């Protein structure tokens, strides 16, 4: 079965990544190695997951590509922006995530990816000191220069479609402002007036991408496409958006483990999460204003899974704390500790400890692939606005807070939303319910 309303994935798919650091070079190298048959894209739903379609005797379990027209790994063409001038090969070596033997076979391809000058404002990431940066008159000019980059990339490579993925640093926290971020004309006026306090560089990338007809994915916790003005632009341009913040390690554990507590009707008095990590991500998050952005994202998960109003005896007094500590010796090998204080029968206390020694970029790379392929699919299926079905991949799924919408953070409910959307786009019935 196929859905005639979904355009086929003809030609090449350009993936333009903001940030050419550990995550994006691991993503690029893995895709290049996988298409040579030298590595396996483990962790990628689009490459491995199977979904049931049909019921009863018509029941089949199919890979995504057999349900919907997905772009193939061979069709992907990469480009990137970064504040540092190092090409993708140098950057992959410097990141020290992958061993040299897993980079060398695709060295020639990686060498060709030289980062475009970044649209950057040091006030948004004080710890970064790169000089591969655009000179911009104002935020509007910054956005126009990004648009030009996208047009040039299309012209030079001949790609059919482009997806823009933010895999750069966490910016300082920007609180949504009703006078700037709620209406598109106000946002545009602020860009033209060079309102640098309310208009972040990431907003310029997102605005530029949407205007150029490219789906935009926010992989950091930045305030970017989760504002009403961007929803309006997404509706006007009919281009999908998704975000925010890749769900890789600790929050993945939280969104999958909290449902166990809830399903067994156990109580919770506290959840303390702490992380140590090195790499550029840790460096940037060592700045309190940048950490604030991340903290807001990480804190939102638990409360929508263990809902105090639904079970006041069990969840009305949870003390939830999240910490991130910059620790250079670990580099990309992040370690997360979770201490969970629960209580059971007659209120007797118990504890659960989870220690996840994860590799941040190894977990993020398959998410990058899945988000890009599925956003490209969504666009060809005529979907636009916030793609809630991609919540599975995101720590802080976008939602309409102006009408008090609560995002779905429960991992298994998110998986159901993902499967239903794939079924629907494949012309099948979206037949699983979320209770």
Q: Which of 357, 380, 408 is the last residue of a domain?
A: 357
Residues 202, 84 share a domain: yes
Burial of 146 (0-12, 13-18, 19+ CB in 10 A): buried
**Which is nearest to 213 in space by CA: 19, 380, 422?**
380
Domain contains 348: yes
Tell me, what CATH number does 335's domain have? 3.30.360.10
Q: Does residue 8 sit within a domain?
A: no
pLDDT at 199 (0 to 100) = 98
What is the dihedral sign for C-alpha 299, 394, 44, 279? negative
What's the confidence (pLDDT) of residue 296?
A: 76
DSSP string, 244-280: S-B--SHHHHHHHHHHHHHHTT-EEEEEEEEEEE-HH
Both 337 and 301 in one domain: the answer is yes
Residues 139 and 263 in one domain: no
Predicted model pTM? 0.95
Same domain, 68 and 198: yes
* Inside any domain, residue 432: no
Q: How much is the pLDDT for 332?
A: 84
| Contact of 396 with 221, CB cutoff 8 Å | yes
Domain boundary among 307, 326, 357: 357
Tell me: do 380 and 340 sit in the same domain. no
Task: Assess whether 123 and 177 both reside in one domain.
Answer: yes
Q: 323-364: per-residue pLDDT in tens?
A: 989 999 988 888 999 999 999 999 999 999 999 999 999 999
pLDDT of residue 288: 83
Q: Which residues of the chain have pLDDT under 50?
A: none
Helices (H), 50-95: 88-95
Q: Answer with the one of 322, 357, 392 that is the final residue of a domain.
A: 357
Mark whether 168 and 155 lie in a shared domain.
Answer: yes
Q: Which two tokens stand for residue 242?
A: 């998704």
d(CA 125, CA 127): 6
Total domain count, the chain? 2
Q: Decide if 1 is inside a domain.
A: no
pLDDT, tens only, 1-41: 678 889 999 999 999 999 999 999 999 999 999 999 999 99
The secondary structure of 89-141 as a DSSP string is: HHHHHHHTSS-GGGTGGGHHHHHT-PPEEB---GGGSTT-----B---SSHHH
In this prediction, residue 1 carries a pLDDT of: 67
Radius of gyration of the chain (CA): 21
236 and 385 housed in the same domain: yes
Question: How far, in Å, CA of 223 to CA of 203, rounded?
Answer: 8
For residue 60, the SS3 value is strand
Would you mind telling me the total number of residues written for the chain in this entry? 435
Q: Are 86 and 171 in the same domain?
A: yes
Question: Are 156 and 187 members of one domain?
Answer: yes
Nearest to 356, CA basis, from 287, 434, 257, 228 = 257
pLDDT at residue 300 in the model: 75
Domain annotation covers residue 294: yes
Q: Which residues span the domain enclosing 317?
A: 250-357
């Amino acid at each position: 079965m196929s859905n005639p309303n979904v355009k086929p994935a003809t030609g090449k798919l350009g993936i333009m990544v903001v940030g050419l650091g550990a995550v994006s070079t691991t993503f690029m190298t893995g895709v290049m190695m996988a298409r040579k048959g030298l590595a396996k894209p483990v962790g990628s739903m689009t490459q491995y997951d199977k979904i049931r379609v049909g019921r009863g005797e018509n029941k089949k379990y199919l890979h995504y590509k057999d349900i919907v027209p997905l772009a193939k790994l061979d069709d992907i063409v990469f480009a990137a922006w970064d504040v540092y001038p190092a090409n993708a090969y140098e950057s992959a070596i410097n990141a020290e995530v992958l061993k040299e033997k897993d980079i060398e076979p695709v060295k020639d391809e990686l060498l060709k990816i030289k980062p475009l000058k970044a649209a950057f404002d040091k006030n948004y990431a004080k710890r970064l000191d790169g000089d591969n940066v655009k000179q911009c008159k104002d935020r509007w000019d910054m956005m126009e220069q990004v648009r030009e980059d996208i047009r040039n990339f299309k012209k030079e490579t001949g790609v059919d479609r482009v997806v823009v993925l933010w895999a750069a640093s966490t910016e300082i926290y920007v609180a949504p402002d009703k006078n700037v971020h709620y209406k598109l004309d106000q946002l545009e006026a602020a860009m033209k007036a060079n309102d640098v306090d309310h208009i972040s560089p990431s907003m310029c990338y997102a605005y530029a991408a949407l205007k150029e007809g490219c789906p935009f994915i926010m992989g950091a916790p930045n305030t970017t496409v989760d504002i009403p003005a961007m929803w309006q632009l997404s509706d006007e341009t009919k281009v999908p958006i998704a975000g925010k913040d890749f769900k890789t390690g600790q929050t993945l554990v939280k969104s999958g483990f909290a449902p166990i507590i809830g399903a067994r009707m156990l109580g919770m008095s506290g959840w303390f999460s702490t992380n140590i990590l090195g790499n550029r991500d840790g460096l940037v998050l060592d700045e309190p204003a940048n950490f604030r952005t991340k903290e807001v994202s990480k804190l939102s998960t638990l409360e929508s899974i263990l809902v105090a109003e639904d079970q006041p005896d069990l969840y009305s007094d949870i003390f939830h704390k999240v910490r991130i500590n910059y620790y250079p010796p670990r580099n990309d090998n992040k370690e997360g500790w979770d201490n969970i204080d629960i209580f059971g029968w007659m209120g007797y206390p118990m504890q659960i400890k989870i220690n996840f020694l994860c590799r941040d970029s190894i977990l993020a790379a398959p998410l990058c692939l899945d988000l890009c392929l599925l956003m490209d699919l969504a666009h060809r299926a005529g979907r636009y606005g916030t793609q809630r079905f991609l919540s599975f991949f995101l720590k802080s799924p976008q939602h309409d807070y102006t009408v008090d919408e609560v995002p779905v953070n429960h991992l298994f409910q998110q998986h159901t939303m993902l499967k239903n959307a794939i079924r629907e786009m494949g012309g099948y019935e979206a037949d699983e319910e979320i209770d």
